[in-house]
Amino acid sequence: MPGEPAIEATGLTKSYGSVRVLTGVDLHVPRGSVFSLLGPNGAGKTTTVRILTTLTSPDSGSARVAGHDLVRDRARVRRSISLTGQDTALDELLSGAENLRMMGRLCRLSRGKAAARADELLAQFDLVEAGSRRVGTYSGGMRRRLDLAASLIVPPAVMFLDEPTTGLDPRSRAAMWTVITELTRSGVTIFLTTQYLEEADRLADRIALVDGGRIVAEGTAAQLKQQVSGHRLDLTLTGVAAFDGLAAFLGDRALLPDRDRLTLSVATDGSAGHVRALLDELDPARTAVARFAVHTATLDDVFLALTGHTTTAKEPAVV
Amino acid sequence: MSDLALRPASPLGDLGVMVRRATTLTIRNGDALLTSLALPIMLMLLFVYLFGGAINTGTEYVTYVVPGVIMLCASFGASLTAVAVTNDMTNGIMDRFRSMDVSGASVLGGHVAASTARNLVSTVLVLGVAFLIGFRPSASVVDWLAAVGLLLAAILALSWASAAVGLLAKTPEAASGFTFFVMFLPYPSSAFVPVETMPTWIHGFADNQPFTPMIESLRGFLLGTPVGNSPWIALAWCVGILVVSVLVTGRLFKRRTA
C-alpha cells in the first residue's frame, strides 16, 4: 500500500453523445504530491475529475484512487477523497458553521465532534467571525475557503480541487494559493485542475497539459518549459519591407510573426554571445531591427508549441 | 486515516441529517414558506366569500370547499419539492454529497419529509381558519384518522412525484413551472364545484383524475357522509404515483449523474 500511487489511471475515455470529451487519459500521481491538470475550457478537466471522484463512470479505461478501484470499490474511494468543485457546494440559507456541522454529521462524526471540528476549521480558514452568518452573505473568496474547509472535515487521502480559483479576484486568488500551499505541507495528495498557467506553476509538483480530451505533455514546470527552447529573442522591425525580408530569410525559424505589429521572434539560448551573433546574422546592415527583448519561456509557450493555441485565460474568465 | 476506513455507511443517519437540513432550509426560505402557508387560506377565502355566493352545492359552501382547498394546498406545497431538488442538482451540492458517499435517495427523502411537515402545518392552518369562518366537520375520531392518513399518503406521493420533476428540470425556474401545473389540476375535479355542473366532455377527465377520489374521500370523512369506494381508489392512486415516482427518480438520478 505505501508504495502505491495516490492516483493511477489508464486509458480513460468518455463521450457524451457524439462528443468525445476524453480520448484516452493516463495518469500517475505519487502520494503526497500536488498534481495539476492544466488546459483550456472544454479540454476535459472537469470530466476527468468527475470520473476520478466516482461521480461519472468512464466509457472505458480503469483507475485506482487511494489504492481502491474506482468501479469495484466505489464506497471506499468516496471515503478516501474530497471534492471541491467549481460551484460553491454549500447551502446558502445555512450559516458557515451550520454547513460544516452538517458535513461533519455526514462524515459520521458525533454531534459534539462535528461542532468541534467545525470550529477548528472556521479558525483555520479565517472565518470565525463569519461563521454564524448565512453563506448567502459571503464574498466569493470566503465561499471558496468555506468550501475547502468543508472538504477537510475528515482529512482525505486525496483532495480534488476543480478550478479552485476560477472567477476570483486577484487578491482572493492569492489568498487561496496560500491556503492550498499550506495544505500541501500536511502531506495530502492534491489533484488540481486549472486554466491559469501561473496557478499550476506556483502550486504543482507535476503538471499535465490537457487539450482535446488527452494529455499532450507531462512533467515538472521546468521540464515542460525545456520542451520549447528555453528562451526567445523578440524583435520589433523598422518597417514592412524589413519584416517581409527577414520573415523570408528565416522561413521556419520565425516564431510568432505578426506583420501588423512588425514583430517576430527566434529561438535563442539567452546568452549574450548568441543574441549578439543572432542580431548580426539577421540584420547585418543594422537597419532592420528597431528593438529586441529576450523572453524566458512560460508554460503558455509550451502550450502554444504543443497544441497550436494558447490556454484561454491568464486572467479570470467569466464563468 | 483509521477512522476514515472504519466509518460505517449509515443511510438512516444520513436521512436524519437530510431531513433536518431540508426542514431548516424550508423554514429559512421565507418567501416560499409564506406563500405555501398563506396561499391556501387566501384561496379558501376567495372561494367562500367571492365565488361561494354564486355557487350552489346543496350545502353551506365553506363546508363543500374545505376538502378541495386542503388538497390544493397539499399539491401546491408538495410541488415546491421540485424547486428544492433542482436547486440541489444545479448548484453542485448533490455532487458533494455523492462524493461523500451520501445516497441521492436520502437527499431526496429529506426534501420529501420536509415537504410533508410543511404541508401538515399549512393544513392545520387552513382547518383553523375554515373553522373560524363556519366550517363544522362532523367527523368521528376514526374518520379524522382516515382523513389524515389519506392526506399523508397523497402528500407523500405528490412530493416524490415533484422530486422526480425536480430531477428532470434543468433550472429551478423550469421546476417552479411545475407548481403552476399541479395547482391547476384540482380545478377540473370536484374540489370547488360539483363535476355534474361542468360541460359533459370534461366529465370523463374530472371523474377519473386522481384529485377527485381524494377530495371525495376527504369530504366524506370530514362531513361523515358515505364515501363509497373513493378512499380505495384514492389510495391506489397514491400508491401508484409513489411507486412510479420512486422508480423514475431512481432512473433519472442515475441518468443525470452518469
β-pairing verdict for A206-211 and A34-38: parallel
Q: Which CATH superfamily is domain A7-226 in?
A: P-loop containing nucleotide triphosphate hydrolases (3.40.50.300)
Q: Parse chain A into domains and list their residue ranges.
A: 7-226, 229-296
Q: What is the mean pLDDT of residues A28-33?
A: 92
Place of cell 486509458: A11
For A52, A210, B95, the CA distances from A305, given in Å and listed in that order, are 29, 13, 36
Write out pLDDT tens, residues A172-182: 888 889 988 88
Per-residue confidence (pLDDT) for residue A128, from 0 to 100: 93
Contacts of B97 in chain A (CB under 8 A): 106
The count of CB pairs under 8 A between chains A and B is 82
Q: What is the torsion angle, in degrees rounded to the nearest 10, for the CA atoms of residue A286, residue A290, residue A291 and residue A297?
A: -80
Per-residue confidence (pLDDT) for residue B2, from 0 to 100: 38
Q: Parse chain B into domains and list their residue ranges.
A: 9-256
Per-residue confidence (pLDDT) for residue A175, from 0 to 100: 87
Contact A78 B97 (CB under 8 A): no
Task: Tell me the average pLDDT of chain B.
Answer: 86
Q: Note the ipTM here.
A: 0.83
- Is A229-296 in the same CATH topology as A7-226? no
Q: What is the mean pLDDT of residues A284-303?
A: 83
CB proximity A137 to B under 8 Å? no
How far is residue A73's CA from residue A220's CA, in Å, rounded to a whole number?
Answer: 31
For A38, A298, A308, the CA distances from A304, given in Å and listed in that order, are 13, 10, 5
Distance of residue B257 Cα from the nearest chain A Cα, in angstroms:
6
Question: Reduced to 3 DSSP states, what percent helix, strand and coil does chain A have, rounded to the nearest 5?
Answer: 40, 30, 35
- Which site among B28, B98, B100 would you substitute to test the A interface, given the most A Cβ atoms closer than 10 Å to its Cβ? B100
DSSP A251: G
Contact (CB, 8 A) for A94 and A102: yes
Number of H helices, E strands in chain B: 11, 0
Range with the poorest average pLDDT among A204-218, B154-168, B183-197:
B183-197
CB proximity A87 to B under 8 Å? yes
Q: What is the mean pLDDT of residues A78-95?
A: 89
Contact B95 A55 (CB under 8 A): yes
Residue A213: pLDDT above 60? yes
For A26, A84, A150, B187, the CA distances from A133, given in Å and listed in that order, are 43, 21, 16, 43
- Which site among B85, B93, B99 would you substitute to test the A interface, given the most A Cβ atoms closer than 10 Å to its Cβ? B99
Range with the poorest average pLDDT among A71-85, A117-131, B69-83, B183-197:
B183-197
For residue A85, the SS3 value is coil
pLDDT band at B258 (very low <50, low <70, confident <90, very high): low
Residue A277 φ then ψ, to 5°: -65, -40
Q: What is the mean pLDDT of residues A65-84?
A: 91
Q: Which of B129, B145, B141, B88 is nearest to B111 (CA)?
A: B88
Nearest CA in chain A to B10: A108
Range with the poorest average pLDDT among A205-219, A265-279, B185-199:
B185-199
Per-residue confidence (pLDDT) for residue B1, from 0 to 100: 39
Write out pLDDT tens, residues B209-232: 888 899 989 989 988 888 888 899
Write out pLDDT tens, residues A301-312: 777 777 766 554
CB proximity A49 to B under 8 Å? no
CATH 3.30.70 fits A229-296, yes or no: yes
pLDDT band at A228 (very low <50, low <70, confident <90, very high): low
Q: What is the mean pLDDT of residues B200-208?
A: 85
Contact A91 B98 (CB under 8 A): no
